Structure 1
Amino acid sequence: MKIMKDRQVWTGSAALVVLAGSSAAFAAPTEYVMDVQMVPAFCSLYPEYAKKRKCLEGYSLSISGLYPQTTSQNCTTHSSAKLSPLQAKVVARIMPDDNTRAILWRNVGGCVPMNASQYFRTIINYADRLKVPEELTEQENITISVDTLRAKFLKINPQLPSNALRFNCQQIQSASVLTSIKVCYRFNGNYKSCPANIINTCPKIVTIKGTY
């Protein structure tokens, strides 16, 4: 999923990676939350993002991470985040910055029963399966109600429950700008209702910043 100025969209589906046989010495998390980042919003809100590849190349969306829901206070790992050149190229469609991927793995790898290659393959599978409304990849700013945006997600993703989505915003002057969408999953990759600690931070009406 690389959504750039030509507005490629997420389509198709992929088989979920099999995680059985892991030697992880901890109880596997039963839930995951995938964070879909609205790149134009972040690039305009935070100057430090401006030189990141996803900003420079005009991405509309990217994945900031797939986060295990766990009681552990420390999910860091010292295992390698290195991917094969082919896999790195595929992952770059939705997570283009190498250093960002390495930091993500270092921060969550200790709480997932898989290695880095399996983890990023899982993210690819989840992203490939999730279809996104065209409003999220337009080149112009759009004002839309959260209820309408949710309904559009549900229409093109029949297996997605309405309460499996959470919308996050940041207030800028008089507008609430959509910055990310969180999608909740069971361990087996099926969608599920988001837990209570994953909340909406958007009002009824939001602004989606267009690709710049």
Structure 2
Amino acid sequence: MRKVLRLAGVCAATVLAGVAAAAQRGAPAGDFDFYVLSLSWSPSYCAAEGAEANRQQCAAARPYAFVVHGLWPQNERDYPEYCGNRQPERVPGEMVADYRDIMPSGGLMGHQWRKHGSCSGLSQSDFFALTRKARERVKVPAEFTRIETPRMVAPQTVEERFMSANPGLEKSGMAVTCDRRYLREVRICLTKELQFRACAAVDGKDCRRGQVLMPPARGG
């Protein structure tokens, strides 16, 4: 289990702790309020996990900058997970190949499908197609598509850059997360129609540190 969670880019306790009050395991598929698009700063994951990091994601050149960690069905105060459905648990190799540009490993895709995608009420193909649309909905600021040297940033500044690049996105509809050293994720709340919306539980979990590290990324 530990290995699977690392393939997902970060352990589940870190990813979802505090995003909502509690998980609703086995909730009915399709019964949720909105989505959270989680964009992970891939070099932070690679640096934090070191030799244990997924090789597909963390090759020597570190080709990834912000990647899609997941598209999470969410409620105002909780979130569903591992919902019952008639879809296969395994994501086929050809589908993995189709989405590797935004989700860098098959382990990540499989874990995200089983834990979160299963609750969307969509088929595998429709869920990952929606994930791509959600990623295309959000514009990553140009300054974060390629970083040549380690960079210290204020989480608030990252928020501001994302808001400037995405008209309609407000502070109340997003969060920038970190660990003790690294900037980890930008989480953005979207309606089922992929419009920006407020989400108090997510927004309340912003990183409180003044400065965090963004390790370099060689390309987006």
Distance of aligned partners of 1:49 and 1:37 in 2 relative to their CA distance in 1, 3 Å threshold: farther
Which residue does the alignment assign to 2:217? 211
Q: Is the 8 A contact 1:154 1:161 kept in 2?
A: yes
Distance of aligned partners of 1:179 and 1:27 in 2 relative to their CA distance in 1, 3 Å threshold: closer
Q: TM-score, with normalisation over the residues of structure 1?
A: 0.75
Which residue does the alignment assign to 1:108? 116
Which residue does the alignment assign to 2:155? 146
Question: What CA distance in whole angstroms lies between the structure 2 residues aligned with 1:35 and 1:196?
Answer: 14
Q: Is the 8 A contact 1:29 1:187 kept in 2?
A: no
3-state SS in 2 of match to 1:180:
strand
Q: How far did 1:95 drift? A: 0.6
Which residue does the alignment assign to 1:196? 201
Question: What CA distance in whole angstroms lies between the structure 2 residues aligned with 1:35 and 1:48?
Answer: 24
Equivalent AA in structure 2 for residue 186 of structure 1: T
Equivalent AA in structure 2 for residue 65 of structure 1: G
Aligned length: 184
Q: How far did 1:42 drift? A: 0.7
- Unaligned regions of 5+ residues in structure 2, if any? 1-27
Q: 1:65 aligns with which of 49, 70, 75?
A: 70
Which residue does the alignment assign to 2:189? 184
Question: What CA distance in whole angstroms lies between the structure 1 residues aligned with 2:101 and 2:115?
Answer: 21
Deviations 1:4-52, CA, capped at 9 Å, x for gaps? xxxxxxxxxxxxxxxxxxxxx6553111111111111111111355343
Which residue does the alignment assign to 1:75? 82
Q: Is the 8 A contact 1:77 1:106 kept in 2?
A: no
Question: What CA distance in whole angstroms lies between the structure 1 residues aligned with 2:178 and 2:41?
Answer: 10
Which residue does the alignment assign to 2:20? none
Distance of aligned partners of 1:165 and 1:26 in 2 relative to their CA distance in 1, 3 Å threshold: closer
Q: 1:46 aligns with which of 35, 45, 49?
A: 49
Q: Percent identity?
A: 20
Distance of aligned partners of 1:65 and 1:72 in 2 relative to their CA distance in 1, 3 Å threshold: closer
Question: What CA distance in whole angstroms lies between the structure 2 residues aligned with 1:190 and 1:128?
Answer: 12
Distance of aligned partners of 1:202 and 1:132 in 2 relative to their CA distance in 1, 3 Å threshold: farther
Question: What CA distance in whole angstroms lies between the structure 1 residues aligned with 2:29 and 2:189?
Answer: 21
Task: Answer yes or no: is 1:123 the counterpart of 2:131.
Answer: yes
Equivalent AA in structure 1 for residue 143 of structure 2: E
Equivalent AA in structure 2 for residue 204 of structure 1: G
Question: What CA distance in whole angstroms lies between the structure 1 residues aligned with 2:54 and 2:73?
Answer: 29
Equivalent AA in structure 1 for residue 156 of structure 2: D
Task: Answer yes or no: is 1:29 the counterpart of 2:32.
Answer: yes
3-state SS in 1 of match to 2:143:
helix
RMSD: 2.5
Question: What CA distance in whole angstroms lies between the structure 1 residues aligned with 2:121 and 2:54?
Answer: 33
